[in-house]
Amino acid sequence: MKVNTPFKIGNCHIYPFEYSIQFDDAEKQSVQAKFIEVLCYLAQHSPRIIPREELINNIWQGNEYVGEKALTNAIWNLRQHLKGADSDSEVIETIRKVGYRLLITPIFDEIITESDFSSQQSKHAQSNTFNIKDKNKKYNLLYLLLTFLIVILIWLSLQNNEFIQPKVTKITKSPGGEMFVAPSPDGQYIAYKWLTPDGENNLYLHDREHPKVDAKQLTFDQAKEGHSVWSNNGKYLYFSRRDYVKNKCDIVQLNIKTHQEKVIINCPIGGGYYYLDISPDDKTLAYHGKHSSAKKSGVYFISLIDKDAQPVRFSCQQDCNYRERDMAFSPDGIHIAVTRRFSRFNENIFLVNLTTKASTQLTFKEQDIVGLAWHPNGKKLVYGAQRADIRSGYILNIKDKSTHNLQLEGFSYPAFARKSGELFYQQRPENYYVARLSLNNTVASSPLPVIQSTFNHLHPHYSSANKKIVYLSNESGHYELWTASIDGKNREQLTHLQRTIRYPRWSNDGIKVAFLSPVEEQHADKIFILNIKNKKLSTVKSPFSVHDQPTWSWDDSAILTSVTTDEYRDIYLFDIKNNTNKRLTFNGGRYGMMISANELLYGKSSRGLWKTTLVPNVNKQNFSAIKIVDKKLSDAYAWTYRQQNKKQELFFKESFSQYQQISHYDFTSKKVSPIIRVPLLTLSKDFSITTVDDNNTLLFTRSIFPQIDIKMLEHPLLAK
């Protein structure tokens, strides 16, 4: 087998026995052993495409738990090490949903058989074997001592369960998304929400004692079911149900045996995810929402033993610089763990005493918590965190606040079976790429990928001034700014901030890029401006701590972005040179574009797009705006404006119960017409769209409908 002999790829020499590589006329570089093993395997089987499963089976002995993430990491690092091996092409090609292959034919120094290799290994080992007869007693004693220490270390490791491999078991595997797992207390039944590719959205029940029997459907409606939680006695399942057609939201109690439903309370239709949890004595249900009297969403308690009970807000309501979202009662009922979101870049877990409300911060520098659950022993929390759209799981020790990374990509929304102690979670990968849609075709065409890989690429914006796309990519582990030509080639990384960046926007002259990013060690974010020519980075002066997607003024002298305060959310103009700011809207403006020197087009959280004429000394009393598009947009940001040859038009996203579409609005005829219709979740929540006038196309963020499965994790650190 020639894989273990030295070989050459382009002008790079690979020495497997030494785990090193060397470019022509350069020094040798050490490379991690597993990286070399992956490269050798690809070389041995070149030019065949090697499936990911085959690499995991051969390099990591089939350990999917470790291999999935380790293989992706190995491929990324190999590409970095092999840069320059061939100036005209990549060395390793990713064949999407299949695997990898070498694009450059390897040249081996010699060809040896497997038996020859074994012989060479034996000779190599013999030449390095410690020969006691040829060594003095001093070295002999040292050798025996080291051997004894190694045995002791292995024994201690075994005592601490460090050598016990975690085990992941797939519970569901139907097409679409099985989400928000809720195991019964004894672990026999698994309740979950199933979002099918055609838009069906209901709760299902899986019986683990009969794994070959199809899951039982629990709800039958056109509403949207959300998170669910079992009562501790295993009799009831509580869940949220939102019906947008009826403009109604309910928290429902479902009797598992009789299938009888009972509405516990009417909840607000808004407020995002409806997180739920139940106290260990089954007397109190906690849920996330936003009732009319509240300024921010938060956690509410409702008594399950008082028939006339009204919701009681648990979260801070006045003068708060955060919003509480998810929650989990401690097994002893003394504390509740809650997630507090200070900005879109800062969400962490806090431990709150239910009696005194004294709080302790448990996690730090997290961006987005995607689920948390108490271990039944009350000493640990398991949670999911999303960073740059990469979801991972962690075990948190309550006493010393130490964390252990589970190394499970896609880990989110964990839940324990309280009596059996089994841990279940939802695995959800995120995959975004930049797509192109031609507007020249009379017959509708399909969107084509422009920038797509195993990493995520999103938020494209095109500059007609410099003929480049600016976009975000997480291939470095963080979302950083990148540019590319109109066809997706000539890619270049612009920033190395190693923190999350969002919403890049070219200035009209194509010289600067504005974007949103957090301020380190602060519960705040800022608008940053990067000068492409001199690489100078600056921030926009602002007295506010929460900003939104930026755009540029008509003459590039100012930045427009909405700000959020305790009283309102509206669009401001920030003068870059004079460091002044001015409020432009007074009716909830979220995202706006200047369409002339004194006209602002903007979206709100409600229906349609609005236009206002900018006047000096505008205030709430003299502010006026008119609705331009009386159409339900998917959100206030999912649109773009274009003016060509005096023709004004909009392109925007619409979402329906079973599909999504990109639509067109003509300002003259005031007609809306669909451009293309796509399956649900194809146009993600981070959807952004831009026009490329040079070839009359649209560029936008597209996502792949995720395969979301429920899995069970057995881990030595979770053993009681």
Whether 126 maps to a domain, the answer reads no
Q: Domain with 616 in it: what CATH number?
A: 2.120.10.30
Q: How far apart are CA 664 and CA 672, in angstroms?
A: 6
- Closest C-alpha among 28, 41, 104, 95 to residue 67: 41
Q: Are 712 and 424 in contact (CB under 8 A)?
A: yes
Q: How far apart are CA 247 and CA 270, in angstroms?
A: 10
Beta strands in 576-670 (DSSP E): 580-583, 589-596, 599-604, 609-613, 626-629, 639-644, 647-655, 660-666
For 395, the enclosing helix (H) or strand (E) is strand 390-397
Residue where a domain terminates, one of 99, 115, 131 = 115
Q: How far apart are CA 643 and CA 274, in angstroms?
A: 41
Q: 356 with 463, same domain?
A: no
Q: 322 with 341, same domain?
A: yes
Whether 240 maps to a domain, the answer reads yes
Q: Are 479 and 471 in contact (CB under 8 A)?
A: no
Q: Are 631 and 651 in contact (CB under 8 A)?
A: no
Residue ranges of the chain with pLDDT lower than 50?
1-2, 111-136, 154, 157-163
- Closest C-alpha among 360, 365, 433, 359 to residue 394: 365
Residue where a domain terminates, one of 53, 81, 115 = 115
Q: What is the pLDDT of residue 688?
A: 92
Q: Are 560 and 584 in contact (CB under 8 A)?
A: yes
234-250 confidence digits (pLDDT tens): 999 999 998 877 888 89
Residue where a domain terminates, one of 115, 149, 181 = 115
Q: 190 with 321, same domain?
A: yes
Task: Tally the domains of the chain.
Answer: 3
Six token digits for residue 515 = 């974007």
Q: 546 with 641, same domain?
A: yes
Put simply, whether the predicted model's pTM sits higher than 0.85 gets the answer no
Whether 714 maps to a domain, the answer reads yes
Angle (deg, nearest 10), helices 52-59 and 33-44: 130
Q: 534 with 410, same domain?
A: no
Six token digits for residue 75 = 């491929």
Whether 483 maps to a domain, the answer reads yes
Q: How far apart are CA 434 and CA 594, in angstroms?
A: 25
Q: Which domain holds residue 557?
A: 432-703
Q: What is the pLDDT of residue 123?
A: 39
Q: In this structure, what DSSP letter does residue 165 have?
A: P
Q: How far apart are CA 280 and CA 441, in angstroms?
A: 61
Whether 457 maps to a domain, the answer reads yes
Q: 471 with 376, same domain?
A: no
Whether 493 maps to a domain, the answer reads yes
Q: What is the pLDDT of residue 73?
A: 82
Q: 103 with 204, same domain?
A: no
Q: 451 with 415, same domain?
A: no
Q: What is the pLDDT of residue 413?
A: 97
Q: 86 with 199, same domain?
A: no
127-154 confidence digits (pLDDT tens): 333 343 444 455 556 656 666 666 565 4
Q: 403 with 461, same domain?
A: no
Q: 441 with 565, same domain?
A: yes
Q: 691 with 547, same domain?
A: yes
Bond into 47 cis (ω within 30) = yes
Whether 162 maps to a domain, the answer reads no
| Residues contacting residue 497 through CB under 8 Å, at least 6 positions apart | 478, 480, 517
Whether 229 maps to a domain, the answer reads yes
Six token digits for residue 443 = 């017959």
Q: How far apart are CA 46 and CA 105, in angstroms?
A: 7
- Please count the other Cβ atoms lying within 10 Å of the Cβ belonging to residue 273: 16
Beta strands in 7-67 (DSSP E): 7-9, 12-15, 20-23, 29-30, 50-51
- Closest C-alpha among 344, 343, 314 to residue 328: 314
Q: Domain with 90 in it: what CATH number?
A: 1.10.10.10
* Dihedral sign for Cα atoms in the order 241, 423, 368, 179: negative
